[in-house]
Structure 1
């Protein structure tokens, strides 16, 4: 009799544990967002082509489109999203404190950051490139490198800026500027033969000014951009990863392709039917 009571009590405890786990899953971020009826995305507003205010004063950019792609996956409606503008140093705190559901803000994946948030699958690979003016003194990267110390490169001021430029052009002179505008003014005035800038910015400038700028044809210093969510909710992370993956490789590729072409001026490779290339 005592053994039977122990077994019944044990089974009751197991049932309670299962119910508790099920309740925790039901109360996760995915269910919270679905019940709310909109997605809350943390992002920026001052960094084109990623996030900025357009001529109408509305947020636009690649990160904004990524947020809408996720909202479409949630509600079959890309407009069911609220964007919370935040500074770059608020990207992680706003996730960990639950102020936003997800951060999509040109955020570089690093191992230390991955100790604080859960990163989604990558949606862009950033790098550094060399922006040049058309019909300038040097035709391309090979000509810049061959010119050695005769070349001056403008770059945004940073403790690593000179070393970064010298990874691509070891002998070049490096002029650092405390604003992006001044960096580009140096290029436009001829004080610099090239401007070292993010590849995304390079493509954006070329798209907006196709008759003015060219790409030197060399990229380096790769960085992975991903969205970030709060740690500990695998269902939410799995959903966002599914939405992003299918935008880049599956049923929603048209949305991703249109955005990529709009902001970077080039077409991403079409996913091919058959064996999933990402599994190679």
Structure 2
């Protein structure tokens, strides 16, 4: 119970550390034609067998979106990024870091790399805490320039936002108490209560699998929460029997609470991408260029960030987590 109390307390503390996700700040990105965006959506729908490949080729050129970011005056000259603050080793505050502890983790390293490339200063970032179900609205409303928040590239989302090439490979997996009879994504979920984050790939996967008969009919996944950490708290309190979330996040949650563990194998393959506005073509191309450099950097890039933040929870061998060689099939 001691571990549970600590994590519950941390969840409450984290919720108070950043501005509310619904607060409005300086919008980012230029606004393009509605017809062009609708045309891109139609193309995305037609070529959605491999959504992780529906992105633009890399470029270092500035365009209207990047110019808008660079021309913000004074203290507002920052990259505005939607992130998580509750995902251990992805985007979180060190609970031992004191009241002014900075956000840190794998996603935060990537954000700072992007800010350094575009604005010449890795600290020129305004972080905004965004709940899972607010990631796309925050981009569309111009509250953020981009979202870097363990966000899976999928067919539904590429109709609403533009993605970079993948920067991480993951999948959906079960998290449950070590003492639970649940053994994985199988018949042992019969009659069990499952928690997911609202607006997450986990929830849409459960919906699709229920419709297709791949999920045991009596499994109940009606419990949804704003943040994945809220699912861990529900699990600790006995309000649900299992959590479905990305393997990478599940492993981090298991590291926070030694009474829970991953059950079975991942039952999907998914890729995280940086999400931006549909018409922010120059920003998408620039981020893809940055990702090429991030992956190739052997001393301070992708591998170094994995070793620092994720090797303790996902293992020293990063092969399963490395994204595939990028493909750039989106033409405009």
> Kindly tell me: are residues 72 and 182 of structure 1, through their superposed partners in 2, closer, same or farther at Cα, counting changes over 3 Å?
same
Write the mapping of 1:3-82 to structure 2, written as runs, cut at 5 A. 28-36=64-72, 38-48=78-88, 50-55=90-95, 56-57=98-99, 58-75=102-119, 77-82=121-126
TM-superposed CA distance for 1:205, in Å, is 2.3
Residues paired across the two proteins, number = 242
Match of 1:155 in 2: 194
> Kindly tell me: are residues 176 and 238 of structure 1, through their superposed partners in 2, closer, same or farther at Cα, counting changes over 3 Å?
closer
Q: Is the 8 A contact 1:155 1:177 kept in 2?
A: yes
TM-superposed CA distance for 1:239, in Å, is 1.3
- The secondary structure found in structure 2 opposite 1:82 is strand
Q: Is the 8 A contact 2:165 2:326 kept in 1?
A: no
TM-score, length basis structure 2: 0.56
> Are 2:279 and 1:232 aligned?
yes
- Describe the superposition over 1:197-255 as per-residue Cα deviations: whole angstroms up to 9, x where unpaired: 4323320123234x544333311144432112223343321110121233234452344
Cα distance between partner residues in 2 of 1:271 and 1:125: 5
TM-superposed CA distance for 1:63, in Å, is 2.9
- Describe the superposition over 1:75-112 as per-residue Cα deviations: whole angstroms up to 9, x where unpaired: 55422212123444543344345433222233332334
For the pair shown, the structure with the greater C-alpha radius of gyration is 1
TM-superposed CA distance for 1:164, in Å, is 4.7
Q: Is the 8 A contact 1:106 1:225 kept in 2?
A: yes
Match of 2:34 in 1: none
Match of 1:106 among 142, 146, 150: 150
Match of 1:183 among 235, 242, 251: 235
Query: Which stretch has the larger CA shift, 178-187 or 229-238?
Result: 178-187
> Kindly tell me: are residues 184 and 78 of structure 1, through their superposed partners in 2, closer, same or farther at Cα, counting changes over 3 Å?
same
- The secondary structure found in structure 1 opposite 2:267 is strand
> Kindly tell me: are residues 259 and 229 of structure 1, through their superposed partners in 2, closer, same or farther at Cα, counting changes over 3 Å?
farther
Q: Is the 8 A contact 1:128 1:220 kept in 2?
A: yes
Match of 2:251 in 1: 203
Structure 2: give runs of 5+ residues left out of the alignment: 1-60, 226-230, 328-332
Higher strand share: 1
TM-superposed CA distance for 1:137, in Å, is 6.9
Higher helix share: 1
Write the mapping of 1:240-259 to structure 2, written as runs, cut at 5 A. 240-251=287-298, 252-258=301-307
TM-superposed CA distance for 1:130, in Å, is 2.3
- Describe the superposition over 1:96-154 as per-residue Cα deviations: whole angstroms up to 9, x where unpaired: 454332222333323343233221112233432123444x476955xx95xx5697644
Match of 2:37 in 1: none
- The secondary structure found in structure 1 opposite 2:171 is strand
Q: Is the 8 A contact 2:166 2:326 kept in 1?
A: no
CA RMSD of aligned residues (A): 4.2
Match of 1:14 in 2: none
TM-superposed CA distance for 1:177, in Å, is 4.5
Q: Is the 8 A contact 1:154 1:196 kept in 2?
A: no
Cα distance between partner residues in 2 of 1:182 and 1:105: 22
Q: Is the 8 A contact 2:169 2:320 kept in 1?
A: no
> Are 2:306 and 1:266 aligned?
no
